[in-house]
Chain A
Amino acid sequence: MRLQLAFALAVLALAVPRARADGELAVRGVYYKEQATRVMQPMLDGMFDAGLHGVATGHFLVDAITSASASSGAANAQPFTERRYEGGLGYAHDFGGLTVGADAKYSTESDYISRYAGVKVQLELGQKNTVLGLGGGISLDTVSAAAAQGPSMPSLRCSASDPSETSCPLDVYALYGSASQILGPNTVLGGSVDLATLRGYQSNPYREAIAGDALVPERHPTERTRESFAASVRHYLSPTGTTVIAAYRYYRDTWKVHAHTPELRVVQEIGRDADATVGYRYYTQDGAFFFRDRYPADDAAMTQYVSDDVKLSTFTGHTLEAKLGVLGDAFELHGQWAAARFEGILEYDIQNNRFGNAVVAHVALTLPFTY
């Protein structure tokens, strides 16, 4: 009898079809243009259910910088062409209210290699009304001047006391904490704290600053600790189908850069199958303590920090964004294509510095599937 029962259970187990799993594939192309740089970035993102409680993710992208300056905004910039390749994998497992995940990323281009690994934990409390997150990661990067124009590759001084090298390390240790709290059926509050310490070569190997009557290679400090505190609130207005997202970030670091970034986005539902977003973001920052337009003549020991990095100057910026998302259903597509999302984004960045203004355009297709 027991044998018959076991046999019946085995037949039943074989007869029951395998549970189907869901996944999602997203293809995105981005075009970016500013005064001295033009970038095309095709990318592929995938997300797959792995078993009943796991989710695996992966991405691959190519940064094709077709006309840019290696010295990133420097006055003496020369055009160059380069490609950056990046791939990443991640996995998260749900233990019932507690999700534990890990991810890794590798990026390579001729003069910069980055290897990143991180872990994260997410805890749901109060019937998922509160979600807390904690994560951290380490990035071990290698910087060289391999994209330099000319017959020989410039050497780098990894720190003031080191002899010249062909490449220098840059290690980044990052931690973050995040939280979201449901305040009502239409409102969610979020907050996060990010902390990162960078140790190693943080200059641009191609950039030079004016010191006295000469141009000298950029020398930034080799240690930097960055902190950012962000908060956001999302509110849904049911009568009009409108979501209002307000966010603010305060940033500071040990180079004395302080930045404030308020942002407002409004997402409007258009029928059942489309949504349109408009957004505005304001950005303002103080310059780094060592940033100058001109420096005194270099002393023999070359002890002063010198920089020609526009990002370290005092400036303000404005970003305007418009986005349209449409589901395949709106085009009378059937099956899984009905749930596919087509997206277009246009963004205009205004900056009152040497970078100048920039235009960003995205087109994307996200296709859910079952396997």
Chain B
Amino acid sequence: MVAAAVRYLSWFAVAILCCSFATASTGCVVVRAHERGHLAKRAMTDDRDPGETRFVGHERGSREGAEGGAGQPGGGCGCN
């Protein structure tokens, strides 16, 4: 677990750095606060409420073999 975590999080960090560098090098990285009207819209931040996200995760976890990918860990549930 620890070895896998270090391995994947290292890859992840490298990928983020590469993406950030690539984006920065194009000169379009900084979108200033007054230009973020569209980015602040509900659909552009998170179009799902916490309750909807939680139910969807629970439902899909009880019907599908795959879990995760929502960007946050979750506790166990009685759906095995």
Measured between beta carbons, the chain A residues less than 8 angstroms from B55 are: 28, 30, 41, 43, 360, 362
Digit string of B52-78 for contact with A (CB within 8 Å is 1, else 0)? Answer: 101100010011111111111111111
How many residues on chain A are close to B (CB under 8 Å)?
105
Question: Nearest Cβ in chain B — how far from A68, in angstroms?
Answer: 10
Interface size of B by CB at 8 A reads 56
Q: Are A257 and B66 in contact, CB atoms less than 8 angstroms apart? A: yes
As a 0/1 sequence over residues 91 to 122 of chain A, the CB contacts with chain B under 8 angstroms (1 = contact) are 00000000000000101010110111010100
B-side contacts of A322, CB under 8 Å: none
**Are B9 and A193 in contact, CB atoms less than 8 angstroms apart?**
yes
Say yes or no for A127: interface residue by CB 8 A criterion.
yes
Q: Which residue of B lies closest to A185 (CB)?
A: B35
Interface of A is mostly: strand
- B38 to A185, Cβ gap below 8 A? yes
Q: Which residues of A contact B41 (CB under 8 A)?
A: 236, 243
Which chain A positions have C-beta within 8 A of B19? Answer: 179, 181, 189, 191
CA distance A253 to B51 in the complex (A): 27
Residue of A nearest to B20 (CB): A130
A146 to B64, CA, bound (A): 24
Decide if B29 touches A251 in the complex (CB within 8 Å).
no
Contacts of A230 in B (CB 8 A): 68-71
A170 CA to B69 CA in the complex, in Å?
21
Interface check A174, CB cutoff 8 A: yes
Find residues 10-29 in chain B having any chain A CB closer than 8 Å to their own CB. Answer: 11-13, 15-16, 19-20, 23-24, 28-29
Chain B residue, CB-CB nearest to A65:
B78
Return B40 CB to nearest CB of chain A, in Å: 10
The verdict on A228 contacting B73 (CB below 8 Å), with A41-B55, A59-B54, A343-B49 known, is no
Is A221 part of the contact surface with B, judged by Cβ < 8 Å?
no
A116 touches which of B1, B9, B70, B76 (Cβ 8 Å): B76
The one of A84, A176, A259, A267 that contacts B43, using a Cβ cutoff of 8 Å? A267
Asked if residues B47 and A175 are in contact (CB atoms below 8 Å), the reply is: no
Residues of A within 8 A of B64 (CB): 259, 283, 285, 311, 317
Pair B49/A114 contact, Cβ less than 8 Å = no
Report Cα–Cα, A157/B70, bound state, in Å: 33
Stretch in contact with the other chain, from A1-9, A134-142, A328-336: A134-142
Cβ-defined contact, B49 with A45, below 8 A? yes
Q: Are A251 and B47 in contact (CB under 8 A)?
A: no
- CB of A167 within 8 Å of the partner chain: no
Taking CB atoms, residues of chain A closer than 8 Å to B71 are 133, 176, 178, 190, 192, 194, 230
Q: Given A173-B1, A311-B64, A345 and B52 touching (CB < 8 A)?
A: yes
- Docked complex Cα distance between A231 and B69 (Å): 8
Q: Determine whether the beta carbon of B5 is less than 8 Å from that of A107.
A: no
B4 touches A194 (CB 8 A): no
- Min CB distance, B34 to chain A, in Å? 10
Bitwise interface map of A from 146 to 189 toward B, beta carbon under 8 Å scored 1, else 0: 00000000000000000000000010111111110111111011
Inter-chain contact A195/B63, CB cutoff 8 Å: no
Judged by a CB distance under 8 angstroms, whether A67 is at the interface is no
> How far is B52's CA from A227's CA once the two chains are assembled, in angstroms?
23
Question: Once bound together, how far apart are the Cα atoms of A163 and B61, in whole Å?
Answer: 29
**A346 at the binding interface (Cβ < 8 Å):** no
Is A261 close to B, CB under 8 A?
A: yes
Contact of A196 with B67 in the complex, beta carbons under 8 Å: yes
Q: List 28 A-B contacts (CB under 8 A).
A: A32-B59, A45-B51, A61-B51, A111-B78, A116-B75, A130-B16, A130-B20, A135-B72, A137-B75, A143-B78, A174-B74, A176-B72, A177-B8, A181-B23, A183-B23, A183-B28, A185-B35, A190-B71, A191-B16, A196-B67, A196-B68, A225-B4, A227-B8, A228-B67, A230-B70, A311-B63, A345-B52, A358-B59
Q: Which residues of B contact A (CB under 8 A)?
A: 1, 4-5, 8-9, 11-13, 15-16, 19-20, 23-24, 28-33, 35-39, 41-44, 47, 49-52, 54-55, 59, 62-80
The 8 closest A-B pairs by CB, nearest first: A116-B75, A174-B73, A112-B78, A194-B68, A251-B66, A228-B68, A259-B66, A243-B43
